[in-house]
Amino acid sequence: MAKSRISFPVDLVTIGAAVIIVAFFLPWIKLGGSFAGYEIPDIAHAAGKATSLKSWTGKFDINVYLVYSLFLVPISAAAIIAFGAMGKDRTIPAWIAAVMPTAGFVYGFIRLQFDLFPRLGVGGWLTVAAGVLILLVLLNVIKMPGKR
């Protein structure tokens, strides 16, 4: 009876994905307190409902719920690791895990400029760094050993 064996490719994309998953549970932002990545959507949702006149009128406000897309970052990072273990193509989850934190950082910098730096927690910085690392690998700026 042959045993099926799952092997995990240990490369920069997998390492970046693992960092993103761990960082999701570390403090991402500091706003009077530190909040982990998984807490941000609930806080933003509560703040949006409390301050939005649309919640009083009963009209749907997509911006209140858009912040839940933040969960795509660790989900795509987990997909990178799972797809790698199964030997499947990891390109799509890698692009999601790379672009979302990088674009979020650029958007935050445009909105807050240098005020963003003291507001990011260690989890936020690790997520951005891992996202940039994965992005550089995907763009072939950083070459993977054994790949051309």
Give start and end residues of each alpha helix (H) in the chain. Answer: 12-23, 40-51, 53-57, 62-66, 72-86, 91-112, 116-119, 122-138
To the nearest 10°, the Cα dihedral for 115, 40, 47, 67? 90
Question: Does residue 146 form part of some domain?
Answer: no
Radius of gyration of the chain (CA): 18
Q: Is 3 among the domain residues?
A: no
Give a yes or no: residue 147 inside a domain: no
Task: For 128-146, write each residue's pLDDT tens digit.
Answer: 999 999 999 999 888 766 5
Neighbours of 82 (CB within 10 A): 15
Number of domains in the chain: 1
Interval 48-94: pLDDT, tens: 554 454 555 555 555 556 667 788 899 999 999 999 989 899 999 99
Phi-psi region at 27: left, alpha or beta (left = phi > 0; alpha = psi -120 to 50): beta
Range of the domain at 37: 27-138
**Confidence band (pLDDT; 50, 70, 90) for 38?**
low
Contact in structure between 14 and 75 (CB atoms under 8 Å): no
Answer yes or no: is 19 within a domain.
no
Residue 96 pLDDT more than 70? yes
Question: What is the pLDDT at residue 146?
Answer: 58
What per-residue string of b and e applies to 97-132 under the rule 16 or more CB within 10 Å gives b?
bbbbbbebbeebeeeeeeebeeebbebbbbbbbbbb
